[in-house]
Amino acid sequence: MLSEVRYVRSGGASIAFQAFGSGPPDVVFAPGFVSQLDLAWEEPLLAGFLRGLAAFSRVVWFDRAGTGLSDARPGPPALEDEVQDVEAVMDAAGCERAVHFGVAVGAGLCVHHAVEHAERVSGLVLFAGHARLLRSDDYPWGWDAEQYAAVLEQIDTGWSRGEVVELMNPGVAGDERFRAWFRRYCRAGASPAQVRRVFETCAAMDLVPLLQRLDVPTLLLHRVDAGWLSVEGSRFLAERIPGARLVELPGNDHWPWIGDSDGVLREVQGFVTDRRPSRRERPVWGPEALTQREREVARMAAEGASARAIAERLCISERTAEAHIAHVYLKLDIHSRVELARRAEAFGL
């Protein structure tokens, strides 16, 4: 599933992107304020979510200018430049038209692109969407000045330690494996100064004048107990985007790949393909894709058992055991027993 990172020139900057999956249809995925295409695949929760998207679409995603593997432009990020980056990435990926799936600030970018280039957008999925980041008299659900200042301070003082994850995703606050990865992801994704500039751009963004101009099918997804961005933001959008449908999901995590990610993928798949799978359908990739027998084999292989020992213990042929191991490697996107043993705990084995 790992896809080669490619680059496209846009506005004087090199923008890093990947295209992978089983589409058509195509989905342009804008994951949020910071990403890092290489390190994303090292986190099982995020990698599993990407594989889930790729099971029913071809996914195109990219690091925003100034983050991850992409060049930074001089001065603060300009939304007009980022819209052109989306155009350039779609052109380079051979993507004429796509559903846009944006998370938080990525949702705002997708809205802008859909308004300015509606001919290239077949639909919008907006997760944790909001019209404005900051509170105002006519939009009381944004952050107040004190909250905004506290986030900027935490970026300045704790970005290298990934401390912001506890505010965004309570579900992984106590997961030391995830926190260790997230610290590296933050440092590789952007410097504190770059992240501050991203948030300043977010604070200046106002989607309200654009909402009535949207003319594409729109699905809004938001977790009802999310503390980072209130569900009221998506309710506000749902009332003002023509024909939009809002699905309120259980949970309090900000990112769609944390918590009940399968529930998110079911909604997205239903919107993108007009076929919403049941909860009983097994995902194609990741630990949940393993059958009970494959999970047994994976656990024994991770503990060091050979294919012959596994076959004897399970009363199956050695060739069948080898086939199970090959299926495990494919579904978990790994290539060796050493990697399986190293990541066994993350895979729930």
Does the pTM exceed 0.75? yes
User: Do residues 124 and 53 lie in contact, with contact meaning Cβ atoms separated by under 8 Å?
Assistant: no
Percent of the chain surpassing pLDDT 90 = 57
Could you give all domains of the chain from N- to C-terminal order, each with its CATH number?
6-273 (3.40.50.1820), 290-342 (1.10.10.10)
> What are the residue ranges of helices labelled H in 93-159?
105-116, 145-158
Q: Are 270 and 279 in contact (CB under 8 A)?
A: no
The CA distances from residue 77 to 84, 96, 143, 228, in Å, are: 12, 26, 21, 22
What is the secondary structure of 291-348 as a DSSP string?
Answer: -HHHHHHHHHHHTT--HHHHHHHHT--HHHHHHHHHHHHHHHT---HHHHHHTTTTTT
* 3-class SS of residue 214: coil
DSSP bridge partners of 310: none
Q: Which pLDDT value is given to residue 296? A: 84
40-56 pLDDT, tens digit per residue, is: 998 888 988 998 899 89
- Cα 338 to Cα 273: distance, rounded to the nearest angstrom: 38
Q: Which two tokens stand for residue 122?
A: 């077949």
Could you tell me the pLDDT band of residue 279, with boundaries at 50, 70 and 90?
low
Residue 340's nearest CA partner among 302, 307, 294 is 302
